[in-house]
Structure 1
Amino acid sequence: MQCDYFDAHRCRSCSLMGTAYDDQVAAKQERCVAALLGAGVSLQWESPFTSRPAGFRNKAKLVVAGTRSDPTVGILDGSGQGVDLRHCGLYEPGLAQAVQQVPSLLADLGMVPYDVPRRSGELKHVLLTHSPAGELMIRFVLRSEGQVTRIRTGLSRIYELLPGVRVVSVNLQPIHAAVLEGPQEVLLSQHSDLPMPVNDVSLRLRPGSFFQTNTEVAAGLYRQARAWLAETDPASLWDLYCGVGGFALHNLLRPNGSARDVLGVELSAEAVESARASAAEMPGAPRFVTGDAAALLRDRPAPEVVVVNPPRRGIGDLAPWLEASGVQQALYSSCHVDSLARDLTRMPSLRPVRARLFDMFPQTPHLEVLTLLQRR
């Protein structure tokens, strides 16, 4: 992939830009193998699941800068000034078209960009999510409530310029810090969630819930998990750090069509509401609860299989619990192979037997690894 922004040193976020895509994937595979070998793990690796090198992102996290009449959307430079990246080549086609309309929309709405060096202004970020069905979620991150009415009265203009918009909300982030969003969300649209079709499951994303950045690779990740679990056909499954329920909802049914006993646990209440909304449209009776998995499940009888999909820091206190739990099989989906390797050393009774790299983030060193563990 060639990028004018990268070549002009306006944006260097994609640190592997200019490296042949096959070489990127090979280097990531080598890194994964080396990290697990360093933890004493040697196992069967499937062929990497690759992505489109460009046009793959379903999300745009746009820092807003510039002026009311001439806003920029993209990132900030070292001095806190806006760098406009509206033509970034990473966005999937429908999202790319929407991003290019955002500066005109902001000017029409009369939004005042937040000036980081001066700590003045209101609009900090615009967050966009695009679904395979062509629908959009747009979130305006504001410093205060003062401009909510301006956005509310401009809804017709938002729908005119971004015809795929389904969800519109405002997030309030009042502090001066490098924090993307705050705890308060104000819904402005009739709809409160964005349907995200993934394989044969429709995940419903609410404004504060997390979903992977690369829909096609996420779909492959869920298919791989389903295929591996179908080989042993567990009757019960816990999906920990379940987010919007992707792993749980892809594994509600056993190969014979009967329902599994499925429980999902997640700290984010918004994500749990998303998972419950998706589950209401599907067979079976999965349960989704809000809470810390290590504390919530400590005294419950373990299921046959546990799926974990933690943040970059890994599973922490959950590792000793899994080691002692008696769980016969586990799937560990990791976005940081070093924390995965560290966690595996804390669970010696759960032996990694298969793994696969999923290239969720081309042009960067970031990656996702799915590992199948079996009790010795």
Structure 2
Amino acid sequence: MTTPRCDYFEAGRCRSCALIETPIAEQLAAKDARCRALLPEVPAAVWLPIVSGGERDFRNKAKLVVGGSAGAVTLGILGPGGIGIDLRDCLIQEPAIRAAIPRIAAFLDDTGLAPYDVPRRRGELKYALVTAAPSGALMLRFVVRSEHALGTLRRALPELRAAVPEATVLSVNLLPEHVALLEGEREELLLGSSLTMELGGGGSRAGEPRADGSGVALHLRPQSFFQTNTTVARELYAQAADWVARVDPASIWDLYCGVGGFALACAPRVGEAGASGSDARRVLGVELSAEAVRSAERSAQDAGIEARFIAQDATAFALGAAPADVPELVIVNPPRRGIGAELAAWLDGCGADRVIYSSCNPESLARDLAAMPGLVVREARVFDMFPHTNHLEVMVLLERR
């Protein structure tokens, strides 16, 4: 494949994809080498081939800053002085998102609402957030400043549905403060409740069905987290499921479980061999976000998957557990800061036979692994979740020494 050309990058209007002029093979090799260098104690033989995230049409979520002026909005980023830079033709977005952006912009123009002017701290429209499912269905969320904007968008719901008919979830998030946040706490649903992300079969290679021919679908509520590259997310969950199938633990905790991707990929289904009774694999997901937990519970129920989920801080949950409740395998998928010293020390001494650690920051992963000398990396893999940038996902299978 040839490296995609980006008019925005070449014109100096957007530099978010800092590596876009580097051939993808070189990007992949550099990311793989970086992770190996940060983890020098991991033998070369245990590194699996890096998983590519594609070159274009791979990003399933657009975080579009609303700029410009009332009746002539831009959707993209803010440039110097808070001037809106329109990126509606950005090639990293999935085609369903790219096709919808001009219609979203036209709808916002018709509302007459003014974009939020960051330097002057006035205006209404802050962000348009668009998430695409593999089916082409969309979740569309607007982040606004006031009740006035919320009311305007609610009254314009028929026009919005006509403009973006593929949107199965529509909502408005209120963020009245002048703060460097993407969204506020209050979310008002206008249509639907969750977006269905069809991910193929858990417990098999990515995208393949389970033995019964069915697949796993995750339900995303508006404030739930999901990986930005659906193809790589499939591979990530499938790799974890392969490791779990290989060691066949009787019990699993999925800490920082989000909407339950790892737990649902590794848990048994009702009716599968060994999925019922006292010998069933017990899977528990722990996640601080109650919205994400509700999403995970619905996904499990709809798919007939035997997994439980609770809304609680992952570290507090683990540190407060009785020794008899510690599972045979723990999955952790923390934010960029990593799991931290307390949870690393607990994992090192808790007695769990194995840990699967999925990280979006190899530096914090290296720091956390150094704090767990009782565990050794048996297999590792890099996933190019964020092509054309220096960001990546790396996952390791740890076993007790």
Normalised to the residue count of structure 2, the TM-score between the two structures is: 0.91
What is aligned with 1:285? 306
Residue of 153, 178, 181 corresponding to 1:179: 181
Which amino acid in the other structure matches residue 357 of structure 2? Answer: Y
Contact 2:146 2:175 in 1 (8 A): yes
Structure 1 residue 42 displacement after superposition: 3.0
Deviates more, 1:245-254 or 1:70-79: 245-254
Structure 1 residue 340 displacement after superposition: 0.3
Gaps of 5+ in 2: 201-214
Question: Which deviations, in whole Å up to 9, do the C-alpha atoms of 1:257-280 show, x marking residues without a partner?
Answer: 524211000111111111111111
Structure 1 residue 284 displacement after superposition: 4.2
Does residue 240 of structure 2 align to residue 238 of structure 1? no
What is aligned with 1:143? 145
Q: In the aligned structure 2, how far is the partner of 1:73 from the partner of 1:59? A: 14
Question: Which deviations, in whole Å up to 9, do the C-alpha atoms of 1:80-135 show, x marking residues without a partner?
Answer: 11011010000111111012322111012222110111111011000010100111
Contact 2:67 2:75 in 1 (8 A): yes
What is aligned with 1:13? 16
Structure 1 residue 163 displacement after superposition: 1.4
Question: Which deviations, in whole Å up to 9, do the C-alpha atoms of 1:281-339 show, x marking residues without a partner?
Answer: 12343211111122123223210100000000000121111111000011000000000
Structure 1 residue 148 displacement after superposition: 1.1
Contact 2:318 2:346 in 1 (8 A): no
Structure 1 residue 177 displacement after superposition: 1.9
Which amino acid in the other structure matches residue 335 of structure 2? Answer: P
What SS does structure 2 have at the residue aligned with 1:60?
A: strand
Q: Counterparts in 2 of 1:1-376, with a 5 A limit?
A: 1-37=4-40, 40-42=41-43, 44-189=46-191, 191-199=192-200, 200-253=215-268, 256-258=273-275, 259-298=280-319, 299-300=321-322, 301-316=325-340, 317-376=342-401
Q: In the aligned structure 1, how far is the partner of 2:245 from the partner of 2:139? A: 34
Question: Which deviations, in whole Å up to 9, do the C-alpha atoms of 1:137-168 show, x marking residues without a partner?
Answer: 11110111211111111111111111111111
Gaps of 5+ in 1: none
Q: In the aligned structure 1, how far is the partner of 2:234 from the partner of 2:102? A: 27
Q: In the aligned structure 1, how far is the partner of 2:230 from the partner of 2:159? A: 28
Contact 1:63 1:126 in 2 (8 A): yes
What SS does structure 1 have at the residue aligned with 2:302?
A: coil
Contact 1:260 1:284 in 2 (8 A): no
Which amino acid in the other structure matches residue 288 of structure 1? Answer: F
Question: Which deviations, in whole Å up to 9, do the C-alpha atoms of 1:182-239 show, x marking residues without a partner?
Answer: 11111111x1111111122110000000000000110011111111111111111100
Which amino acid in the other structure matches residue 26 of structure 1? Answer: A
Which amino acid in the other structure matches residue 43 of structure 2? Answer: S
Q: In the aligned structure 2, how far is the partner of 1:145 from the partner of 1:321? A: 46
Q: In the aligned structure 2, how far is the partner of 1:30 from the partner of 1:101? A: 42
Question: Which deviations, in whole Å up to 9, do the C-alpha atoms of 1:4-47 show, x marking residues without a partner?
Answer: 0000000001110100000000000000000011xx33351000
Which amino acid in the other structure matches residue 355 of structure 1? Answer: A
What SS does structure 1 have at the residue aligned with 2:179?
A: coil
Which amino acid in the other structure matches residue 387 of structure 2? Answer: P
Q: How many equivalent pairs are there?
A: 373
Contact 2:13 2:85 in 1 (8 A): yes
What SS does structure 1 have at the residue aligned with 2:398?
A: strand
| Distance change >3 Å, CA 17–CA 371, structure 1 → 2 | same
Structure 1 residue 343 displacement after superposition: 0.2
Q: In the aligned structure 1, how far is the partner of 2:245 from the partner of 2:350? A: 22
Q: In the aligned structure 2, how far is the partner of 1:183 from the partner of 1:99? A: 25
